[in-house]
Amino acid sequence: MKAKKTSAQLAAGRELIYYDEHPSADRQIQDTRALGRTTVRSEIRYDPVLGEWVVLASHRQGRTHLPPAELRHLCPSTTTHYTLRHAASGRQCVSVAVADRPEGPFRDTRSRPLVCQERLGGSIDSHRFVDPAGPAYLVWKNGGNCCGPPTRLWAQRLDGDGLELIGEPASLGVRNDSPDYAVGYATASRVLGPYRDGPGNPILRSRGKAAGPTEGPQEAP
C-alpha cells in the first residue's frame, strides 16, 4: 500500500509529517496557536545523570511542540462542550470547560458562552466532530423550540484546543422543528454542508412514554 505523505509546520517551527492511506486526505492544517515572547539566552545546569554541567537553550524549553488537540489521537481531549443557562439573556447557550484529566473536574472560566444565538432562541445540543481528514468542528442547534424561530442545525470550525471558534457559523440546511423526538440522518460531501435529508427519515421514533435519543454527525463507514 502506498501512503500519501504531507508535511505541515507547527507554531514553534517544527515539521509535522502525516502519512495517510487515502490520497484524498486533506492535511493543509495551520497551527494558529500563539507563542509567548521569547527571551534568547542559554543556561548552565548540572546534569546528575551525566555528572557534569551542560549548556541548555533555556528559551526553547517551554516551546509549543505538540500538534493541535484534534490531531493528537493518542491522548484524550480535556475539553468538554456543554449547555448552560445564560444569565443575561435567559437563553440556553453552549460553553466549554477544561480539565487536567479526562475524568475532571472541569472548569469553565469564560466570561460569556462560546455560542449563544440569543435572537434564535439560544444554542443547545452541542457535539464535537473531528473530521478524519483534518480539523474539528462544533455542531449544535439553535433553541427555536422555546419561542418560535425555526430550529436549524449549525456547525463551525474549532481551533486546535477546542476553546475558540474559527470563521463564521454555517447553517447545515437541516431543520429540527418536530415536537416529537425521533432520529434521522442527513448526508453531505463536506462537514459544513449543505446537507440533504436521508430517505425514509426518521429511522428511530419515540413511542409511548419513551423519549428517543439524539446525536450529532457521524462518519460514514
List the CATH number of the domain containing 150. Answer: 2.115.10.20
Alpha carbon distance, N-terminus to C-terminus of the chain: 20
User: pTM for the full model?
Assistant: 0.61
Encode the chain (221 residues) as per-residue pLDDT tens digits: 688 888 888 777 778 888 888 877 777 677 777 776 666 666 676 666 677 777 766 555 554 555 555 555 445 557 899 999 999 999 999 999 988 777 788 999 899 999 999 999 999 999 998 887 778 899 999 998 888 889 999 999 998 778 899 999 999 988 877 767 788 889 998 899 999 988 888 888 776 665 555 554 444 33
Residue 219, pLDDT score:
44
Range of the domain at 118: 79-205
Residues 105 and 62 grouped into a single domain: no
Q: How many independent structural domains does the chain possess?
A: 2
Cα gap 24→34, rounded to integer Å: 29
Q: How far is CA 174 from CA 67, 106, 139, 215, in A?
A: 33, 32, 12, 14
* Sequence-ordered strand ranges (E) for the chain: 4-9, 15-20, 43-47, 52-56, 79-85, 92-98, 123-130, 136-142, 152-158, 165-175, 182-183, 186-187, 196-197, 204-205
Residue 165 in grid coordinates:
471558534
Per-position b or e across 172-182, b if 16+ CB within 10 A of its CB? bebebeeeeee
- 74 is a domain residue: no
Q: What is the pLDDT of residue 218?
A: 44
Residue 147 DSSP class: T
Q: Are residues 200 and 93 in the same domain?
A: yes
In this prediction, residue 203 carries a pLDDT of 86
Question: Grid cell 528559551 — which residue?
Answer: 59
136 belongs to a structural domain: yes
Contact 84, 96 (CB under 8 A): no
Please confirm whether the linkage preceding 68 is cis (ω < 30° from 0).
no
**Contact of 58 with 41, CB cutoff 8 Å:** yes
Q: What is the 3-state secondary structure (H, E, C) of 19-75?
A: EECCCCCCCCCCCCCCCCCCCCCCEEEEECCCCEEEEECHHHCCCCCCCCHHHCCCC
Same domain, 51 and 121: no
pLDDT at position 53, please?
74
Residues 6+ apart with CB under 8 A from 121: 91, 142, 143, 144, 145, 146, 147, 148, 149, 151
Q: Are both 107 and 159 inside the same structural domain? A: yes
Instruction: Return the pLDDT at 221.
Output: 37
Q: Does residue 163 share a domain with residue 100?
A: yes
